[in-house]
Structure 1
Amino acid sequence: MKPLLPLLFALSAGLAPAHALELDKTLCVAGAKPGGGFDVTCKLAQAGLLEGRYIQAPMRISYLPGGIGALAFNAFVTQRPAEAETLVAFSSGSLLNIAQGKFGPHDASDVRWVAGVAADYGVVIVADSSPFKTLGDLMAAVKADPSRIVFGAGGTFGSQDWVKAAMTARAAGVHHRNMRLVAFEGGGEALTALQGNHVQVYTGDASEAATRLAAGVPIRVLAVMSEQRLPGQLAKVPTAREAGFDLVWPIVRGFYLGPKVSDADYKAWVDVFARMLASKPYEQLRSERGLYAFSMTGPEFDAYVKRSVGSYRKVAEDFGLKVAK
């Protein structure tokens, strides 16, 4: 395989060298089933890299569900560590899982963190047919009888969605051990279950909600877990704090590479993402997917990830979850 460095630099300058066909093989791996946050993240890179002419053909997307990113992380650390043309999507939920040791013996030092490309936020979602019109309505029902309200989560005990559900239950005055929750393999499945009334509430992500609303999916977002109201599709949705509940959950979305990808190829991806993230067309693409501004690459982003894992250890401890040594 030819090094990515000259190929990516040439394409990022708007050129099309004869050997650029090598980049037709670019791939983004989403560590869950289609329809969730990893899928959104991969599709954002797919569109941004193609529109900016950093690649000549659309990046392929493949799905490797298992442990909400755990299977993909393990695969690229142990089996596919040198695939320079393969990006793997992750979110802050992945870092929360690393903090708890849910990615096995591997930690944040075992892959190469390329870029954080967007911010997202937790949201509280119900079906459009739900009797709950506000977050206050839902919280009153949870407090009155937690056994009657089933939360859906993209991930099992201790996952990011589980923590958002646990925070919501706690804000309603209910211990998280008393909440009812059904775990799904990704946000796509959880949203489908919500529409089928198999669960009554889903503590998902703003990007998932915005893209589903834009597609006409019958859901209602009761609150966003952000410091301030979000622009775009969710502009009219109040923050949880506006509704009287201190629920804030920011999410960063981005990509990593396997640990044996060369320094030159790693730098090529870092430089391309830095250029793409600074462009106006990318800003529009990000907004269209219900995502918000966050831009960090290379060593600075690597340091950010490792600090974040430390912070998530404290979150896990707060809920009595096991944390990695």
Structure 2
Amino acid sequence: MMMRLMMYVLWTAALLMVSPARAAYPDRPIVLVVPFAAGGPADVMARTLAKSMGTRIGQTIVVENRPGAGGLVGIAGVTRATADGYTLGMAGTGALVYAPFISPKMPFDPLKDVTHLSTMVSTPNLVVVNASSPFKSVADLLAAAKREPERFTVASAGVGSSTHVVGALFQREAGIRLRHVPYKGGAPAVQDLMGGQVDMFIAEVPAVAHLIKGGKLRALMVTDTKRLAALPDVPTAAEAGLPKVLAAGAYGIVAPRGLPEDVARKIVDAVTGALRAPDVVEKFAEQGGIGQSSTPDAYRALIKSEQGRWGPVIKAAGITAE
């Protein structure tokens, strides 16, 4: 009996020697995948957040750009990574909310295949026209569009993009029909709007605010319940007569499914602290963004709620991936 006990003790000790405890997180650099091109507003905000988060979590956070398919490529890569907290993603509305109703072959389930950590920032949209356009208000645009259905054009950053989906909501609520002109990105759409090739565009604030201030574009409405501090003369959706046309580009922080709770808690704490930092608030505001953190449960509930809201809009408009 004594011999068996001694053998058991030795065997247990050997196991402990070859099975060291998990190192305290984080003990090496963390990658934040941004599924958009470098240099754009989303990328600037991601890098601002990453720097501030890194200070708080005690480790370098490296931003890695993986653009493609409206954000699906980058976030799909995140879902395939090891769930250890060293690969995070900045997920947008397009990948988590719109894509399930648009893409026939979704590479992941936005509700099941990611760990939702926290919301990050929202950027309202602006209904914009060329500065020389005869439309001085939303009322002007709607009156003309109702007189001549499908004569006037609305640009988008591509089929299934947020600009396309919000444009469909705008038309549904306004009771008008515009001719959709898709582009390969927001930049060429804005260029043609300034050149007079299209009549209107619905863009996130960061993409067009400087052009409005510079007198090249005119904003008719912001898709929010409050006016923008940076553009205080632009009426809200309700003030323009379309109170249900509320939309914003919303971004959050996600990780692969199965992230340990203690690791998730550290990341959420770092996000929350960073978003309260004055320099982060200021930098986000420069890009037209409004930072706001949340609990993981609240973030997941928001994605589910937004899917319920936008799914019918997308289906009614017949929007499908090319």
- With normalisation by structure 2, the TM-score equals 0.76
Q: Which residue of the partner structure matches residue 181 of structure 1?
A: 181
SS at match of 2:263: helix
Checking the alignment, whether the CA contact within 8 Å between 1:111 and 1:259 is kept in structure 2 is: yes
Q: Please tell me the residue identity of whatever aligns with 1:94.
A: A
Q: 1:34 Cα shift?
A: 4.7
- The 1:196–1:236 alpha-carbon spacing in structure 2 relative to 1, beyond 3 Å, is same
Match of 1:284 in 2: 282
In the alignment, what sits opposite 1:241? 238
Match of 1:305 among 282, 303, 306: 303
- Deviations along 1:52-108, one digit per CA (max 9) or x if unpaired, are 55567674341422x211222322234x35473333222233333244162615212
What is the correspondence of 1:1-325 to structure 2 with a 5 Å cutoff? 6-7=25-26, 22-23=28-29, 26-34=30-38, 38-46=42-50, 48-49=52-53, 54=57, 59-65=62-68, 67-78=69-80, 80-82=81-83, 84-100=85-101, 102=103, 104=106, 106-107=108-109, 108-157=111-160, 159-175=161-177, 179-185=179-185, 187-210=186-209, 216=214, 218-230=216-228, 232-246=229-243, 247-259=245-257, 261-319=259-317
d(CA) in 1 for partners of 2:268, 2:162: 27
Total equivalences in the alignment? 297
User: In the aligned structure 1, how far is the partner of 2:57 from the partner of 2:206?
Assistant: 24
Q: Which of these two proteins has the greater Rg computed from alpha carbons?
A: 2
Structure 1 CA distance, aligned partners of 2:218 and 2:127?
A: 9
Distance of 1:134 and 1:218 partners within structure 2: 16
Q: In structure 1, list runs of 5 or more residues that go unmatched.
A: 8-18
The answer to whether the Cα contact below 8 Å between 1:41 and 1:253 also exists between their aligned partners in 2 is no
Q: Percent identity?
A: 24
Which amino acid is 1:72 matched to?
Answer: G
Task: Identify the residue that residue 11 of structure 1 maps to in structure 2.
Answer: none
Which string of whole-angstrom CA distances, capped at 9 and with x for unpartnered residues, describes residues 123-162 of structure 1? Answer: 11223343433222333333333444322212314x4221
**Any stretches of 5+ residues in structure 2 without a counterpart?**
1-21
Say what the alpha-carbon RMSD is for the aligned residues.
Answer: 3.3
Contact 2:56 2:270 in 1 (8 A): no
What one-letter code is carried by the residue in structure 1 that aligns with 2:67? L
Amino acid at match of 1:286: F
CA displacement 1:216-254 (0-9 Å, x = unmatched): 583322210111212x21222111321223322244221
Q: Give distance in 2, aligned partners of 1:123 and 1:37.
A: 15
CA distance in 2, matches of 1:88, 1:212: 30
Deviation at 1:278, TM superposition (A): 3.4
Distance 1:182 1:101, change over 3 A: closer
What is the SS of the residue equivalent to 2:36? coil
Check conservation: 2:100, 2:106, Cα contact below 8 A: no
- The one-letter amino acid of 2:238's match is R
TM-score by length of 1: 0.75
Say if 1:162 and 1:77 are closer, same or farther in 2 by CA, change over 3 A: same
- After superposition, give the CA deviation of every residue in 1:289-316 in whole Å (9 maximum; x if it has no partner): 2122532132332333233333333443
